[in-house]
Structure 1
Amino acid sequence: MTEMWNISSNPHIRDKRKSSDLMSLVLIALLPATIFGVINFGIDALKVIVLSVTGSVLTEYVYEKLMHKKVTVDDRSAEVTGLLLALNLPASAPWYLPVLGSVFAILFVKQLFGGLGQNFMNPALAARCFLLISFAGKMTDFTYDAVSGATPLAAMKAGESVNVLNLFLGKTAGTIGETSTLAILIGAVILLVFKVIDLRIPLSCLLSFSVFAILFGGHGFDLHFLAAQLCAGGLMLGTFFMATDYVTSPITKNGQIVYGCIIGILTGVFRFLGSASEGVSYAIILSNLLVPLIEKVTPPTAFGKGGKKHE
C-alpha cells in the first residue's frame, strides 16, 4: 500500500476551518469583555490576564517538549484557556493564582488527558473551581472603585436591591470578565455571526434558568429580579463562552438542548437553594461530566430510518 489511511470511529465532523482559526475567533470575541475588564479594574486586571495567558502557553509548550510530543501552542487553544481563566478571576488576585490556575488547567485537565479534544471538562472552569476551593478568600475578594464589597449576587442573596443598568453596563464588582453583560453580548454576536456557536445551548440554558428563578427564586414573576440574576455573576460569560466549548459539550442537537437545560437548572439550584450566591462554574463542569450520557440518550435518527413516509 502506498497510502496510509487514518481510520477513526464515528461521529465524523467536517469543517474547513482549522482549530487555530476557531480559537482566533474566540479570542476576538473575548476582546470586548477583556478590554472593558482592564478599563474597569485597571492595571491589576491586565497583570492577571498576562500571567494567566503566559502561564497557559508556557505550560503547554514545556510539557509537550518534555514529553517529546508535537508542540501545539500555535493552535491558540492554550491562549483561549488562559484568557478565560483570567476573566474568571478577580483583579485583586495575587500573582500566584493565575499562575497556579493556568498550570492546573493545561497540565492536569488538558494535557494529561491527551491534549486538545480529549479533556473531559472545561479547563478554565476546572481551574477556577480548583482555586475557589483552595483559596476561597482570595477568590472572593472583590474591589470596585477602590472599595471592597459584596458582588451583586451576594447582595441579592442578602435581600438587597441592585441596579440592573449598572449590571448590564458593568459598573459593579465581580471578576475581570463577568461584569459587563453588554461587552459579553457583543462577543457572543461575533461568535454567532461567524458560526462558531449556535443558540441551542445558550438559549436552553438561559430559558431553563429563568423558569427556575421564577419558580424557586422567591420573587415570583419579577422582571427586575430576573434581569438582575441574568446579568449578575458569570452566567452570561459561562453560557456563551464556556458551556459552548466544542470538546466538553454534546454534538447531538437534542443533546445540546438537554445539556443547556441542565446547566440552567443546576445554576438555579446553587444560587437559590444552596448557601452560595453563585454556581455557574460548578453547574457547567458537572454538566460536562454528563455529556457522554446525554449523547447516549439523544442519538440522531439514522439516515433512512424513522422518517415520515411520502406517498
Structure 2
Amino acid sequence: QGHIRGTFLMGQNPAAGGPNARLHRDALRRLDWLVIRDFFETESASVWYADPEVTDPKAIPTEVFLLPAASVVEKDGSFTNTERMIQWHDRAILPPGDCRSDAWFAYDLGKRLKALYQDSPRERDAPLRHLTWDYDSGNLGIEGEPDTEQVLREINGYHLGERRQLRGPAELASDGSTACGCWLYCGIFPEERTNRARAKGQQRHGTSVYGEWAWVWPENRRILYNRASADPQGRPWSARKKLVWWDETAQRWTGYDVPDFEIAKAPGYRPSADAQGLAAIAGDAPFRMHGCTCPMVSKMVPCRCSTSRSNRRS
C-alpha cells in the first residue's frame, strides 16, 4: 500500500521461507529500497530480476543493497536455543574481505544516524541526538567492531548511581534508579566481568538439571512453571523427578532449579479478598502468574471473583 518504503533483512529470506512467499515477493518489489545482509545472494536479494513472476526487471522500482555478512565463527556473540539457553561463543577467525557482523552493521548505522541528526532542531530527533552509543572495542582486529559483551552488560541492566550490575529482575526499580535493556536477560551479567552465558559447569542436579552450564532466561530457570512439580503442600510429586520444594525450616522454596514462584511464599498462604497482582496468588497455586484460582473455573462459567479481577488489573 506504499506505507513502508524500505526494510532490512538480516538472516531472513521471506521470498522463499515465508508462510505466503508470493505475497512477500510482491511486497518486496514495491519497496523503494531493500538492504539484505547474508552469506550469498538469496531469493529475496534477487527478487527484482530472477523471480519467474518478473517479466521486466527494469520496471521494478526497488533498489537492492546486498551486504556480505560474517558467519558465526567470524564474530563474537551468543546463540539461544528453544530451551531459552544462551551460550556465548568467541570469534575463531577474522571475516574475509568486507564481511562484517550484524553487530558491526547496527553499530555503524547508529553512528551514521547520530551524525546525520546531530544538528537537527526538531524535538522528535532529541532521543537520537542524546543517545549514548559507545561500544567501541578497540582491540578486536576489525575497525568499528563493537564490544558485544558491553552490549550484553547494558541489556542485563545496572544501577544508575553506582553503575553496579543488576543481579536479577528483583532489583529493577520503577523510580528511574535502574536501567535494563530487557528484564528477561536481567541476571545474565550480574557483575562487571561475569558473563554467565560463558559458564561451562557440568555438575548435574537431580536427574536432569545442569544449572551451571550457560544461562537460561529468565533468572537461569531451566524449567518454567516448576512449582507445579510439587503438590499443593510444597512436596515433590515424584522423589525421582523432583525439581523444587518448600523448605519448612528455612521458610523458602528451594531445589535443583530456580523456583518459579515467590521464594518466600508458603504453601499455606491465602490472599485477602482485595489482594492484587502476585499477592492475589495463593501459596498452593501451581503457577506464579495465572488467572483465577477459584472453583468457578472448573465449572466453565465466567468468574467475577476478586482474585480474577485483581489479576486482570495486574
Task: With a CA cutoff of 8 Å and minimum separation of 6, indicate the structure with the bigger relative contact order.
Answer: 1
Q: Higher strand share goes to which structure?
A: 2
Q: Higher helix share goes to which structure?
A: 1
Q: Using structure 2 for the length normalisation, give the TM-score.
A: 0.24
